[in-house]
Structures are given as structure tokens and as C-alpha cells.
A and B are shown apart, each in its own frame.
Chain A
Amino acid sequence: GESVGLHLPTLSVQEGDNSIINCAYSNSASDYFIWYKQESGKGPQFIIDIRSNMDKRQGQRVTVLLNKTVKHLSLQIAATQPGDSAVYFCAENNNQGGKLIFGQGTELSVKP
């Protein structure tokens, strides 16, 4: 079945470095993708989204890249800060029953 998965379950970076979190998806019909950030004990928060007719979208310190050829999504965080430490989830809208399909999540740890 369709799935959204992450290459790395944990990522540790030095404060100030750039972070890259990856996500693979299997449904080529998916038309919309979202990245969420979840801090410990809290609900996921929306970070950035991208539609399938785009290959890049930038926000404040974050960039999402979409490569439809290899069905790959990535989240880049510039100048990573301690406050960025959290679990990051990608989600895929594959137009099946109105459900988003969530990846397993990557835990980002920022060392001061």
C-alpha cells in the first residue's frame, strides 16, 4: 500500500548548521505535501506545505524541496537553533478518502 517514510529516524546537528530531513513517498498521484513539527508533549504544528506542481517552496528559515521523479520530499532548516529540536513529520495528501498519510517522523536534536 501507499506509505510515506523517512530515511533517518534521528538527526543530530550543531547549532548554527543547516539541517536536512528527508521523506520518501510511494504514491505518484499525491498532490500536496506538508511538514509538521512536534515538540515533546504537544500537538504537531504546521511548518510549510508544497503542491505537486512546485518543486521548491521557501518559508522563514525553512525550505521544502519536492522531487517527483524519485518521489522524495525534504525539509531544510537554515541556521538550526536549539528551539528547532523536535520531531518532524511529513504528510502526503493522496486523494484517497480525505486522509493525510503521515510518515513515521524524524527526531531532530540540536547541540549547543
Chain B
Amino acid sequence: DGGITQSPKYLFRKEGQNVTLSCEQNLNHDAMYWYRQDPGQGLRLIYYSQIVNDFQKGDIAEGYSVSREKKESFPLTVTSAQKNPTAFYLCASRRGLAGLYEQYFGPGTRLTVT
């Protein structure tokens, strides 16, 4: 069953703690993305990666970090430096950065920081 998995679905953390969100894909896609979505809002790009061991900042990278050690995995760490981390986080993948390809999304992780 091909697709993108994100875990966990719901995550709760205390303020000041780092937290890592998991994203795995078995679509053999080169490009992977992380978005943040706030209630009633659109998608804002946090980080994206075209190939293993390479990634670029998106529009709102401050307070976040990523790694791409394997093609199928692109974990996102929400650090204590992120001032307003409570949000819905979406991971996506695409066959490549260039080209007329759709982007596939995971089911999302809802992070609540108190």
C-alpha cells in the first residue's frame, strides 16, 4: 500500500521541549516537503528536500530543523525556538522538484504545545 505516513496523529508537548515529527514515504519520490497549517489558513512551506542529505528553507523555517538521511524519510524537529508551534503539520512528497508532477500529502500531525 503506497503512500505517505505521518506519526503520531496527535502530539502534545510542554513549552520549551523539542519535538520530532515523523514522515515516511514508500513512493520512491525524490522531493519531500513540510508544511504548517493554522486553523482556517492555507499551507505555509517550512522546509523541502530534493535529494538525500540536501534540504532548503521554505517561507517559515525559523524554529524548525530537518534531516534527510534516507530517501524515504524526512523528519521535522520543532524546536523550543519556535514561538508558536501549535499547528497542523503536513508532510508531502513529489516525484521530483521539477516537472509536471502532483504532490502527495500525508494525513498530518496535530501538535499542541502548552
Instruction: Spell out A's residues near B (CB within 8 Å).
Output: 31-32, 34, 36, 41-46, 49, 51, 89, 91, 93, 95, 97-100, 102-105
Q: Assess whether B45 is interfacial by the CB under 8 Å rule.
A: yes
A-B complex: 5 closest residue pairs judged by Cβ atoms: A98-B97, A43-B105, A32-B100, A104-B42, A102-B43
Query: Which B residues are closer than 8 A to A by beta carbons?
Result: 4, 6, 31, 33, 41-43, 45, 48, 50, 56, 58, 88, 90, 92, 94, 96-98, 100, 102-108, 110
Complex Cα distance, B104 from A49, in Å, reads 13
**Of B97, B103, B107, which is in contact with the most chain A CB atoms at under 10 Å from its CB?**
B103
For B35, the closest partner residue in chain A by CB is A102
Asked whether, in the complex, the Cβ of B103 is within 8 Å of the Cβ of A98, the reply is no
Per the bound structure, the CA–CA distance linking A46 and B93 in Å amounts to: 12
Cβ B103 vs Cβ A100 within 8 A: yes
Name the A residues within 8 Å of B56 (CB-CB).
97
- How many Å lie between the Cα of A98 and that of B92 in the bound state? 13
B-side contacts of A36, CB under 8 Å: 105
- A51 CA / B99 CA spacing, docked (Å): 11
Contacting residue for A43 out of B50, B97, B100, B107, CB 8 A: B107
